Amino acid sequence: MSASTLPARETALPPQGAERPGQPGRSGLTRALRRNLTAHGFLIGAVLCFAFFSWYPMVREFVLAFQKTKDGRTTWAGWSNLSYVFHDPAFWQAWRNTLLFTGLALVLGFVLPFLVAVLLNELRHGQGYLRLLVYLPVMLPPVASVLLFKYLYDPGYGLFNRIFDLFGLPAQQWLQSTDTAMVSVVIAATWMNMGSATLVYLAALQAIPGELYEAAELDGAGLLRKIWHVTVPQTRLVLSLMFLMQIIATMQVFTEPFLLTNGAGPEGSTTTVVYLIYQYAFNFNNYGGAAALGLCLLVLLAGFSAMYVRLSRDSDT
């Protein structure tokens, strides 16, 4: 749209800082507010909701991390809550488990959806149907998915062991062995969540100009070389953002281990940091400990979030 086609109201605006006749003393801010009164009305609602349900709890969490409540009296506890969680034998185990989950989830949950998206993108027929199939697990309520996997994994009557039995393979303990519990949780979590990631990758793949592939083909590139030299560079930003988002999301994992292994798993091998926070707060009534542990997680995730924001900004420019 050229400048000449702008509506008259826009072009007739008084210059910055000038005052309207008959309204002496009104600041630019007031005028700006008046101009979009309705929008600001709605904005206030959103800001109040965020303030009440997101920002206030964050501040409260920070304060709680340094407080202790005993016999109805709340006192300043200094670093003792942090010291408490550091001395909890479950603390380091929970961090090890969380990092293991994140690592395994990245290997499976990051690579697999990308490969599926590449395959879907290459399909000539039935793409919509297969896309729906891939997305279906996301539409299932997480509890239903978890219960399904709990049945599949059961060492006594589970489907997986029945299949193993058909092929003469030994029965596995799946969720009930320290060796396989976390991997089993990751497999279930990946199945439950990969649909969303696949769709994002697919959208990014479909935005790649077809000429690039044609040029690569003219240069004699095969499928793998096309993926490596065209697909990956063209989706680099989306891949980076998804990678960071995956780290941030997986480090907060709670639902899957909580429902699949009742939180702890064999010998505590699936206890995650967020489950430990939940236990402190709601099973042990130790809100100070929960807040302190939450603070540790917050600090770590804030670093990844900053990287994410930086990358998002790059993608906007």
Q: How many CA atoms lie within 13 A of 131 on its CB side?
A: 19
CB of 311 to other proteins, least distance (A): 32
Nearer to other proteins among residue 37 and residue 218 (C-beta): 37
Query: Does the footprint of other proteins cover residue 72 (CB under 8 A)?
Result: yes
Residues numbered 202 to 241 that lie near other proteins (CB under 8 A) are none
Q: With b meaning 16 or more CB within 10 Å and e meaning fewer, what string describes 23-42?
A: eeeeeeeeeeeeeeeeeeee
Among 239, 268, 277, 293, binds other proteins (CB under 8 A): 268
Q: Cα separation of 55 and 47, whole Å?
A: 10
Among 177, 234, 240, 305, binds other proteins (CB under 8 A): 177
* Residue (of 243, 254, 299) closest to 94 by Cα position: 254
Q: Are 136 and 144 in contact (CB under 8 A)?
A: no
Q: Are 165 and 102 in contact (CB under 8 A)?
A: no
CB of 113 to other proteins, least distance (A): 29
Q: Are 182 and 269 in contact (CB under 8 A)?
A: yes
Q: Is 74 helix (H, G, I), strand (E, B) or coil?
A: strand
Among 263, 272, 273, 291, binds other proteins (CB under 8 A): 263
Query: Does the footprint of other proteins cover residue 111 (CB under 8 A)?
Result: no
Query: Does the footprint of other proteins cover residue 23 (CB under 8 A)?
Result: no
Query: Does the footprint of other proteins cover residue 313 (CB under 8 A)?
Result: no
Nearer to other proteins among residue 86 and residue 228 (C-beta): 86
Query: Does the footprint of other proteins cover residue 278 (CB under 8 A)?
Result: yes
Nearer to other proteins among residue 231 and residue 279 (C-beta): 279
Q: Cα separation of 27 and 35, whole Å?
A: 13
Among 17, 156, 210, 220, binds other proteins (CB under 8 A): 156
Q: Cα separation of 185 and 171, whole Å?
A: 18
Site for other proteins, rule CB under 8 A: 37-38, 40-42, 44-46, 48-49, 52-53, 69-72, 84, 87-90, 154-157, 171, 173, 175-178, 261-268, 278-279, 281-285, 287
